[in-house]
Amino acid sequence: MTRRKSDHPIPEKPEPPFPIVTDFCDIVCGFGRGSAELGIPTANVPIEQLPKSVNDLKLGVYFGYAKIKPVEHEVGTVTRSDGRDVRIDYARDLKKDSGDLSILPVVLSVGKNPFYGNDFKTVELHIIHNFKDDFYGAKVKFNILGYIRPELDYTTKEALIEDIHIDITTALKALESRDFSVYQSQLKDQELSSR
Ligand SMILES: Cc1cc2nc3c(=O)[nH]c(=O)nc-3n(C[C@H](O)[C@H](O)[C@H](O)COP(=O)(O)O)c2cc1C
């Protein structure tokens, strides 16, 4: 597996402050470049809905699990900061049978995206699954189990894309271990997890 100089060694099991688990929070519109420019769609979540422990994390790339919950709401539209209208469909088209609503592996960026020169921090999740539809307006609950690397600036878009693909491989490899995968159950519905 590719190891980069910037990679933090992944321990055998989550080490404090991990695992961190969130409540369900809103999926809001980012700038939309993740999907359009990078081919790596991300779900942005409002920082103020996250536990303080997430805000205290150093800027960088993390991994864990995430679960989406559709919201019963009429489809709407919002105008994004780049002037484009975005359909807010509250995950109404996601399919349980395709695994869209399962507990799925995630890589997430907590940072200012130096490649794009943002001057504020965002938390963006790339859920590792082949979704056929968007899910703006839905809710997502996730946990963070480990740190992969600091966020970096890049000279090309291709280098950023390549690094995110390596992050995905690193996350999937770490989650193969039972000491990490056992934390999938943190996101189970309460009725299912009470034994
Ligand atoms: C796993 C992952 C790693 C990322 N690493 C970096 C990074 O090192 N540097 C950076 O500038 N942006 C990084 N990003 C953020 C992307 O630049 C971001 O997803 C992109 O700006 C799209 O955001 P938008 O959809 O809000 O436009 C990362 C995103 C993800 C999901």
The DSSP code sequence of 166-182 is HHHHHHHHHTTSHHHHG
Residue whose Cα lies nearest atom 5 of ligand 1: it is: 151
Please list the active-site residues.
Answer: 124
> Is the CB–ligand 1 distance for residue 124 below 6 Å?
yes
> Is the CB–ligand 1 distance for residue 116 below 6 Å?
yes
Give me the pLDDT at residue 1, please: 67
- Ligand 1 pocket test, pick from 136, 148, 160 with the greatest ligand atom count within 8 Å of Cβ, gives 160
Distance CA 177, CA 79 (A): 42
HSE (side-chain half, CA atoms, 13 Å) at 145: 31
Beta-carbon contacts of 143 under 8 Å, excluding residues fewer than 6 positions away, are: 19, 20, 21, 22, 64, 65, 66, 183, 186, 187
E-assigned strands of the chain?
20-21, 25-26, 43-45, 60-69, 76-79, 85-88, 104-111, 122-127, 139-150
Residue whose Cα lies nearest atom 18 of ligand 1: it is: 34
> Is the CB–ligand 1 distance for residue 107 below 6 Å?
yes
- pLDDT per residue, tens digit, the chain (195 aa), is 678 999 999 999 999 999 999 999 999 988 878 777 899 999 999 999 999 999 999 999 999 999 999 999 999 998 987 888 889 999 998 999 999 999 999 999 999 999 999 889 999 999 999 999 889 999 999 999 999 999 999 999 999 999 999 999 999 999 999 999 999 999 998 654 444
**Residue 9: DSSP 8-state:** P
Distance CA 190, CA 154 (A): 42
For ligand 1, what atom is nearest to the CA of residue 125?
31
Give me the pLDDT at residue 35, please: 76
Domain 20-177 has CATH 2.40.30.30: yes
